[in-house]
Structure 1
Amino acid sequence: MQLVIISGLSGAGKTVALKQYEDLGYYCIDNLPLALVANMTERTLHTMEKRYELLAVGIDARESPGEIALFPKYLDSLRERDVDIRVVFLNADEQVLLHRYSDTRRKHPLSDDKTSLLEAIRKEVKLLEPISNAADSIIDTSRLNLHELREKVLEQSHGGGAGKLSVQLMSFGFKHGAPAEADFVFDVRCLPNPHWEPTLRSMTGRDEAVAKWLEQHPQVQKMTSDIRSFLESWMPEYQKQDRAYLTIAIGCTGGKHRSVYLVEKLAKHFGKRFDHIIIKHRESWENQGLRDAEEKK
């Protein structure tokens, strides 16, 4: 039996994720009480009813706070029965959620006459912490369109990578926030910054002039070597698991020069070892009006 629990903030895309699992052949139930998840799983294990061998369950803020607080205990209980279980949590930025609710004019499940939409969103974040803290995968949908979200869900599902690990190398700027979906985050703000060179400021880490300037500094060479060595040691361990997707994020201040340069260098190195390397430059690509672009090597 394979059980997937899908949770997340209201408006972050949980319904889309459940639909994707339904398309993958899972029996999907939205808002099933947590207490019944264990009972349903127990029945399936005893009867081996094939209908529920692939089961995806949606859990969200409509569940009682007391039951949500007990989520880690429910999870431990299911895993003690050798249930193959995975928890996927969908997240999104506050402002993005506000904009989505404004567009759809839907009512937030926690908002009322005394609770504003913003207060409801913040209340929900706190309420769902027992689930988000226990999640095997967190998908930040703030910058994803419908197609990209479906692909993310597919990549994280069992067999979604067809037995191969897809590695996403992402550059970002800390001033815009670290990506919640990252498995590894490396901070390179300590390195010399091309931003302070007037001739390089308008360029990115993909430009030859910026690369040459960075490579003159021993700290950059050592940081590149250290990150590469760390990943060479630990990426094979992720390959051994039933893991379809691994996100490695490298951040500098603005996400335009140093992080972009390092992502390009690492992608070139690991492209020889992995069949599927995805490069995403979050900030610099958006600034150039290429928000939805990704390079695949």
Structure 2
Amino acid sequence: MDTAHPADQSAADPGPQRILLVTGLSGAGKSTTLDVLEDLGWETIDNFPVRMLERLVAPGDEPVDEQRGPLAIGFDSRTRGFVPADIIELLGQLTERNDLSVSFMFIDCADGELERRFNETRRRHPMTHGRPLQEGIAAERDLLEALRHAADTVIDTTSLATNELQAHVRDLFDIGEAGDATLTISSFGFARGMPPLADLVFDMRFLDNPHWVDGLRELTGRDAPVGEHIEKDPAFHAAFEQIRDLLLTLLPRYEAQGKAYVHVAFGCTGGRHRSVFTAERMAQGLREAGFSPTVRHRNLGSRAADEIERVPG
């Protein structure tokens, strides 16, 4: 978000080094997450021996600009020296250091979906050891439960396609200017599931539904006739202004609290008309107020269908 910030830190003091620890259930998407982080400019290390982590980030004699690049470290139940209690203790020690900014992400997924993924790829689960796949998944979940509770960020990939996981990681950890939070405005259809990582969700189903108007059904919220129809609803302008004013109040407060990303989602039944139009209009309004949102439309490409919209309204 582009808002006013204190004076930039001097070149001699670039601030604490960003360290992101990434773990999770086997098959949940840790490797994909680390690949995206690498594309975003993070230095990434996977399956790093946990006992060596403190030595890796120990203060050294190298020039400051060679120490401060963001570093993502992946580990899981296969990693040498993997003891969850020891990892949590080490995490606490690292977060107390003034020269580090440490965060911890856990990649989760439902057991049934993990079974499907392993069966499809014919990969061997690291904790089966001759027992059924379900038991191996359950054993790993029990082992990692304390780490899941200790994580700053939990991403559940059960209903996420690979490209959706990649988009979420980009939203969360894209390297921007210091102090700037990443703001995402999205639209979605309730009939196709809630967005798993939204911070604020606004339900636009109280507006008149263009799906049931001849000539508008096959259009989307990006088309002018749909927007004109929605704006004719007496409830639209008052609700829009109240939501915008609320966001203008909350967004600077989130940033002041150090929140690295904010995801605001607008939903309607199918995710093609009311939510799309409102998300586009809200992004425009926030840009006029000095913010720089990214806009995503999750279900814009979905086909118009009466069975999704169900009943008028």
TM-score, normalization by structure 1: 0.70
**Could you say which residue in structure 1 is the equivalent of 2:118?**
101
Identity %: 31
Partner residue in 2 for 1:295: none
The answer to whether the aligner puts 1:161 opposite 2:179 as a matched pair is no
> 1:177: how far off?
2.6
Distance 1:249 1:126 in 2: 33
Judge conservation of contact 2:266–2:279 (CA < 8 Å) in 1: yes
From 180, 183, 186, the equivalent of 2:202 is 186
1:26-41 equivalent positions in 2, closer than 5 A: 26=43, 28-33=45-50, 36=51, 39-40=54-55
Distance change >3 Å, CA 105–CA 13, structure 1 → 2: same
Contact map agreement 2:266 2:278 (CA 8 A) in 1: yes
Aligned pairs for 1:32-71 within 5 A: 32-33=49-50, 36=51, 39-40=54-55, 44-45=58-59, 55-62=71-78, 67-68=83-84
1:221/1:111 CA distance change after superposition, 3 Å: farther
8 Å CA contact 1:2–1:55 kept in 2: the answer is yes
Cα distance, 1:4 vs. partner? 1.3
Number of residue pairs the alignment of both structures matches: 278
> Matches of 2:125 and 2:231 in 1, distance apart?
50
Instruction: Provide, for residues 156-194 of structure 1, a one-character-per-residue CA deviation record: whole Å limited to 9, x for no partner.
Output: 44x7124454422111123333222323333334x1351
Aligned residue in 2 for 1:217: 233
SS in 2 for 1:89: strand
Cα distance, 1:92 vs structure 2: 5.5
Displacement of 1:5 in angstroms is 0.3
Point out where structure 1 has 5 or more consecutive residues left out of the alignment: 289-297
Inter-CA distance 130–56: structure 2 relative to 1 (3 Å threshold): same
Look up the match of 1:143: 161
Residue equivalent to 1:291: none
Secondary structure at the aligned position of 2:242 is classed as helix
Q: Which amino acid is the alignment partner of residue 44 of structure 1?
A: A
Work out the CA distance in 1 between the residues paired with 2:155 and 2:23. Answer: 10
- Confirm whether residue 4 of structure 1 aligns to residue 20 of structure 2: yes
Question: Which structure has the larger Rg?
Answer: 2
Secondary structure in 1 matching 2:55: helix
- What are the superposed Cα offsets for residues 56-93 of structure 1, whole Å, 9 maximum, x if unpaired? 322334479x9436766554443233331022333567
Separation in structure 1 between the aligned mates of residue 199 and residue 254 of structure 2, nearest angstrom: 11
CA distance in 2, matches of 1:257, 1:96: 31
Counterpart position of 1:78: 94
- 1:294 is matched with none
Contact 1:174 1:251 in 2 (8 A): yes
User: Does residue 264 in structure 1 map to residue 277 in structure 2?
Assistant: no
Structure that is richer in helix per residue: 1
Q: Distance in 1 between matches of 2:133 and 2:199?
A: 33
Shift of 1:21: 5.0
Report what 2:30 is aligned to: 14
Normalising by structure 2, what TM-score?
0.67
CA-based RMSD: 4.1
Matched, 1:88 2:113: no
CA distance in 2, matches of 1:120, 1:104: 16
**159-168 or 248-257, larger mean C-alpha shift:** 159-168
Q: Which residue of 1 aligns with 2:310?
A: none
